Amino acid sequence: MSANASLRGLAARAPALAAWLDTHAETLDTDATLSGDVVPQLAEAGLLRVGVPVELGGTGGSIVDAIDSVADVAEHSFAAAFVLWGQRTFIEYLLQSPNRRLREQRLPALLGGELAGATGLSNAMKYLSAIEPLQIRATDVVTDDGTRGWRVNGGLPWITNLRKQGFVAAAAVDHEAGGPPSIFAIAHHAPGVTRSDDLDLIGLRGTNTAALQMADTLLTDDDRVTDDAPTWLVRVRPAFLGLQCGMSLGLARRSLAGTRDGGPGARAAVADEVAALSEQLDTLTTRLKAGVSQGEFVDAPASLFKLRIALAELVHDAASLEVQTGGGRGYLRGLSGIARRQREAAFVPIVTPSLVQLKNQLAAQRAQQLRTETAQ
């Protein structure tokens, strides 16, 4: 029997990473000291290659395996899981892009952890749901070598994993000339690209979260992920949200496990609630994996939206139970991660698409359905 036979999750799959995250989880949440180390640590543990075809440099498996990786990391550090979500989601964009040249140029460094990948498509996902317009515009130009290009202007106020040592960010761009928006991969060293200082967050401060601005940034076909953003986004959205839900799975799992650290009286008082939430978590996990792997959420995004909302509510309830069983110990610095997990749980409802945005979208869909039924 191996030394890790009695372990589970990340402690069994990548014990060195699990130990590093347990040691530095508070630091990753409260300051940016280790923000440059997260992507290399994830890469060294092999997590960036999970669900990527072997012929492209991955270790095989599916997007469901990648969701499991995000969940496993979130049990130890939500900040690191947030970074993994950004990196692995960007990798997924390249896997689903028709631009083979872009994939060949960028994928090796992304898988190896030398380059950070930032999704940057929160604005695009809200655009897809008619929540807000795109914030970046492109003007057609002819480059010095006579090929087609675009001058891009605009910005995004919040992007995670803009690693100072080097990043590439995906962004949806509207064309002045008309036609469907495009998705471009914008490198940190492209002319006119400016990264702000890290945003002054109350937590998750080790995630390289900042604003990005483009001023007359020249891009070419080599930088274009897709020339039909609406169609492509519908196809990639289940992976985007599925990987994001992995963060909730891991955090809920860890908070429920944390209820066992209280005294026997505290554990007994919440035992029925913990059992009910654990059963609900198992059900939602199964539904998420099945929906993503079988393609259900491509044509039925409302089902995925409802699942994301249910997971966020479960995270809140699980974190609250951990506070109850932890008692005063959870309010003392350095004795537990309870306070950190409360901050992490508070972030789940607002990460794009936020629960308010999803609920508004579902309400709009219900209203449209009612109008259609009334007209028939």
Q: Please give the pLDDT value at position 307.
A: 96
State the pLDDT confidence band at 3, using cuts at 50, 70 and 90.
very low
Instruction: Enumerate the β-bridge partners of residue 175.
Output: 138
The amino acid that residue 165 corresponds to is: Q
pLDDT at 2 over 90: no
* Maximal CA-CA distance, the chain: 75
Lowest mean pLDDT of 140-154, 160-174, 231-245, name the range: 140-154
Per-residue pLDDT tens over the stretch 39-68: 999 999 999 999 999 999 999 999 999 999
Residues 6 or more apart from 272 whose CB is under 8 A from it? none
SS3 at position 180: coil
Read off the pTM.
0.94
Whether 95 contacts 36, CB under 8 Å: no
Mean residue pLDDT of the chain comes to 92
How many Cβ atoms from other residues are within 10 Å of residue 27's Cβ?
16
Percentage of the chain lying above the pLDDT 70 cut: 96
Are the C-beta atoms of 93 and 99 separated by less than 8 Å?
Answer: no
More confident residue, 95 or 264: 95
* Inter-axis angle of helices 78-95 and 229-258, nearest 10: 150
- At 147, the amino acid letter reads T
303 contacts 362 by C-beta, under 8 angstroms: no
Do 75 and 10 touch, CB atoms closer than 8 A? yes
Of 168, 138, 141, 140, residue with least CA distance to 153: 138
- In the structure, what pLDDT confidence band is assigned to residue 332 with cuts at 50, 70 and 90? low
Residues 195, 223: contact at Cβ < 8 Å?
A: no
Q: Which residue has the higher pLDDT, 254 or 124?
A: 254
Contact call for residues 243 and 188 (beta carbons, < 8 A)? no
What pairs with residue 150 in β-bridges?
140, 219
- Please report which confidence band the pLDDT of residue 352 belongs to, taking 50, 70 and 90 as the band edges: confident
User: Strands 136-142, 167-175: parallel, antiparallel or unpaired by DSSP?
Assistant: parallel
Sequence-ordered strand ranges (E) for the chain? 116-118, 136-142, 148-159, 167-175, 182-187, 193-195, 210-220, 224-226
Residues contacting 1, CB < 8 A, separation 6+: none
User: What are the tens digits of pLDDT across the range 210-257?
Assistant: 999 999 999 999 999 999 999 999 999 999 999 999 999 999 999 999
